Amino acid sequence: MTPIRNNQSDGDAVLDAVRDCVLAVGVRRTTLTDVARRAGVSRMTLYRRWPDVRSLVGDLMTREWVDVAAGAIPEHRPDTTARERLVEGLVAGVGSFRAHPLFRKIVDVDPELLLTYVLDRRGASQNALLELLADGLKEGHADGSVRTGHLERQARSLLLIVQSFTLSLRTMTDEDDADLSSAAFLTELRDILERTLTP
Amino acid sequence: MTPIRNNQSDGDAVLDAVRDCVLAVGVRRTTLTDVARRAGVSRMTLYRRWPDVRSLVGDLMTREWVDVAAGAIPEHRPDTTARERLVEGLVAGVGSFRAHPLFRKIVDVDPELLLTYVLDRRGASQNALLELLADGLKEGHADGSVRTGHLERQARSLLLIVQSFTLSLRTMTDEDDADLSSAAFLTELRDILERTLTP
């Protein structure tokens, strides 16, 4: 362990430890003691910033999902429109989410944790994703490649669509049938998003 | 009670009894004994057709949701296209589902029952809804108002979209803000569906 760390890397080391714990045993069976041990910090250090496992997992999710989303957004290139980048980023993002080990672990082991964010209220991760979406939409309004509309409502509607493809695609695919494979549905999603956003 | 009934109305009386029980106490606290008593049939009669509460509730859901969906589809009129009817039906359907007492009860009291059908596999109700959607799409392919595409994939993609608006709209609305009200989002949904289906 490095003896001196700044807050950022301290936080990152803790979130790395939470991630390892969740991947090993799921969210419900992860304890603050496990996390503290794995991160090499005292329980008091953890408690000061995170009162419980739920808040730790919340921060981990936000970090991971924003990383996934940011990684899915293509680089700005002068020969692409904002809409092209947004659609490409959203489709790639759905694919990356579905393949993400942490996402799969939660779906398999602690799926009930997702219910709140599907039925009741947005979590911090969803709000962070909405900000990224709003940025993309704003660029598209500016370069004329995205139909004008209420920015926040457009962002939230897009999130409803891609969230459903991320969470529920498995209920609709039949991987033995090329027309009903995940890849075919992601092409359909691309078409839906493209049509939804075109002015 | 009428002394002689055919199977259909017998089944309906039982499903009515399940509905009343679920509306009163939720799914988990409903028992076959309650249902039998309320329907005025013996427990043996119930067992013969439904081995457990889950199968009873499954049949009730299928009946209710197909009723909601069928009620939302506008009548065939010569001056409308199949796409117009489909889009109008889907938007009205999302509104009716969200207002349905049984749907609200499950979301409020037994939300974990929805998880399987969001994450893992389709239920009988979803398959029944997909058939209705496929019928509408087929008409649209025939009259040229819906873009051609793989019928089943189109139906399932539409279900992913409207399911998300039905289940998760509450997480995205802000009823105090006209731009972010349910009504505004349903207008957005209409736009998305219209654009998605136009040839």
CATH number, domain with residue A30 = 1.10.10.60
Confidence category of residue A196, pLDDT binned at 50, 70, 90: very high
Q: Quick one: B75 and B20 in the same domain?
A: no
Residue B71: pLDDT over 60? yes
- Judge: B167–A115 Cβ closer than 8 Å, yes or no: no
Amino acid identity, position B78: P
Q: Quick one: B42 and B106 in the same domain?
A: no
Least confident of A148-152, B63-67, B177-181: B63-67
Q: What is the CATH number of the domain that holds B173?
A: 1.10.357.10
Q: Quick one: A97 and A144 in the same domain?
A: yes
Q: Does A108 touch chain B (CB under 8 A)?
A: no
- Judge: A170–B120 Cβ closer than 8 Å, yes or no: yes
Whole-angstrom Cα distance, residue B55 to residue A96? 36
Query: Which of A51, A66, A83 is where one domain is finished?
Result: A51
Supply the angle between the helices A182-197 and A151-172 in degrees, to the nearest 10.
160
- pLDDT (mean) for B50-67: 91
Average pLDDT, chain B: 92
Give the model's pLDDT for residue A9.
60
Whole-angstrom Cα distance, residue B27 to residue B77? 40
Confidence category of residue A162, pLDDT binned at 50, 70, 90: very high
Q: Quick one: A60 and A100 in the same domain?
A: yes
Give the model's pLDDT for residue B2.
44
Name the nearest CA neighbour of B22 among B40, B41, B43, B38. Answer: B38
Give the model's pLDDT for residue A160.
98
Q: Quick one: A10 and A104 in the same domain?
A: no
Q: Quick one: A93 and A176 in the same domain?
A: yes
Confidence category of residue A11, pLDDT binned at 50, 70, 90: confident
pLDDT digits (tens, 9 = 90+) for B159-194: 999 999 999 999 999 999 999 999 999 999 999 999
A188 to chain B nearest CA, in Å? 7
pTM, 2 dp: 0.92
Residue A6: pLDDT over 50? no
> Residue B59 sits in which domain range?
54-197
Q: Quick one: A39 and A65 in the same domain?
A: no
Residue A2: pLDDT over 70? no
B119 to chain A nearest CA, in Å? 5
Number of domains in chain A: 2
Give the model's pLDDT for residue B78.
83
pLDDT digits (tens, 9 = 90+) for B134-145: 999 999 999 999
Among partner residues B167, B185, B188, which is closest to A119 by beta-carbon distance? B167
Kind and range of the H or E run holding A110: none
Flag whether the ipTM exceeds 0.90: yes
Q: Quick one: B5 and B84 in the same domain?
A: no
Q: Quick one: B98 and B47 in the same domain?
A: no
Residue A15: pLDDT over 70? yes
Among partner residues B115, B126, B196, which is closest to A192 by beta-carbon distance? B196
Residue A4: pLDDT over 60? no
Residue B7: pLDDT over 80? no
pLDDT digits (tens, 9 = 90+) for B74-127: 888 889 999 999 999 999 999 999 999 999 999 999 999 999 999 999 999 999
Q: Quick one: A42 and A73 in the same domain?
A: no
Residue B5: pLDDT over 70? no
Q: Quick one: B75 and B5 in the same domain?
A: no
pLDDT > 70: percent of chain A:
95
Give the chain A residue nearest B197 (alpha carbons): A192
Query: Which of A51, A76, A93 is where one domain is finished?
Result: A51
Q: Quick one: B137 and B151 in the same domain?
A: yes
